[in-house]
Amino acid sequence: MVHYRHVATRWRVEEVAVDASQLLKGVLDVAVLAVVRDADGYGYDVVRRLRTAGLEEVGDASVYGTLRRLYQAGALTSYVVPSDEGPHRKYYAINDRGRSVLEDSGKTWRTFVDAVDGLLDGAST
């Protein structure tokens, strides 16, 4: 989804796009951790749950990369489940470190959202 706003300059008015995919890059870690907090998931399952939650523009490769990175950082554990209908599935589960990261990131996100909401609502500092 792309949102537009008009920017007035001295010589012209131009449209500046606020691209949701760019915003998503900054919060994908916290979104993935929140999804697996509720239930373990394999790659495409996490993608589907993010999209169902309203993040329709999330890319498969971005989520797979985020899962690998969070696993390597120690925020997730993984296990393999055999499948009769194709390849085995690697499930990811949040651990204590991941819960701590999610809690801290959630606080940071809420502070950020409050600040931007204040700006959008016209509050001055």
Asked whether residue 5 is domain-assigned, the answer is no
Report, as an integer, the average pLDDT of 43-55.
Answer: 96
More confident residue, 42 or 5: 42
Q: Is 57 exposed, middle or buried (0-12, 13-18, 19+ CB in 10 A)?
A: middle
pLDDT at residue number 85: 84
**pTM for this structure?**
0.78
In the chain, how many domains are there?
A: 1
**Which pLDDT score, from 0 to 100, does residue 22 have?**
72
CATH code of the domain in which 97 resides: 1.10.10.10
Question: What is the domain range of residue 32?
Answer: 24-120
- Please check the confidence at residue 4 and state whether its pLDDT lies above 80: no
On whether residue 53 sits in a domain, the answer given is yes
115: in domain: yes
In a domain, 7, yes or no: no
Average pLDDT of the residues of the chain: 87
